[in-house]
């Protein structure tokens, strides 16, 4: 009888641990993974349907929505980074995303994807040291929940924009420190 209870408990725990994330978010993460070059295997754990168990992905424990993506590269120590041509629509389905860190990756001098502007729940966005260039797009100013924005160590032109009129952004780091 005791052995049955232990087995039953183990099965119950295993069922809870292997819950899959939302299908539309899973597809979005796979779309992102397939759109980047990952020379160091940074996204190697991104297999199967349990994206809430993947490294660098954090989900809400109740709703199982993806809340955070910590995709920060490590160029200086381990040469662990992503080469990103264009992430395009891969973020569109991540409607509940609150934290996105794409710093220290290689965007090959491209512009910030307009689809980041569709992440209305985004509170923290880190694109520092990410080989981006161009103009800081106006849609960044439309992210009404954004509290922290880090665009340091990248080459942007700063147009007159509503970005600086948003009182909700408490931290903006756009320094060009060398």
* DSSP for residue 114: G
Torsion-angle region of residue 87: left (phi > 0), alpha (psi -120 to 50) or beta? alpha
**What homologous superfamily does CATH list for 20-173?**
Ribonuclease Inhibitor (3.80.10.10)
Residue 164's pLDDT is: 44
Say if CB 26 and CB 48 are below 8 A apart.
no
Instruction: Please give the angle made by the CA atoms of 83, 74 and 57, to the nearest 5 degrees.
Output: 75
Residue 91 has a CB neighbour count (10 Å cut-off) of 22
Q: How far is CA 135 from the centre of its chain?
A: 21
Q: What is the mean pLDDT of each run of 10 residues along the chain (178 residues)?
A: 36 46 92 87 93 95 94 70 68 88 77 77 89 74 90 63 45 50
- What residue spans define the domains of the chain? 20-173
């Amino acid at each position: 009888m005791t052995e049955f209870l232990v087995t039953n408990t183990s099965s119950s725990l295993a069922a809870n641990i292997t819950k899959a994330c939302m299908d539309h978010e899973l597809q979005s993460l796979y779309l992102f993974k397939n759109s980047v070059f990952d020379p160091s295997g940074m996204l190697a754990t991104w297999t199967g349907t349990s994206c809430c168990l993947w490294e660098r992905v954090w989900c809400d424990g109740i709703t199982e929505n993806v809340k955070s993506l910590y995709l920060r590269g490590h160029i200086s120590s381990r040469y662990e980074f992503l080469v990103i041509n264009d992430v395009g629509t891969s973020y569109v389905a991540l409607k509940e995303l609150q934290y996105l860190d794409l710093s220290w990756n290689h965007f090959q001098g491209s512009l910030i994807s307009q689809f980041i502007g569709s992440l209305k729940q985004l509170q923290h966005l880190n694109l520092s040291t990410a080989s981006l260039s161009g103009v800081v797009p106006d849609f960044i100013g439309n992210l009404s929940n954004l509290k922290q924005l880090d665009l340091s160590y990248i080459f942007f032109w700063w147009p007159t924009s509503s970005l600086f009129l948003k009182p909700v952004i408490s931290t903006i780091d756009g320094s060009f420190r060398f």
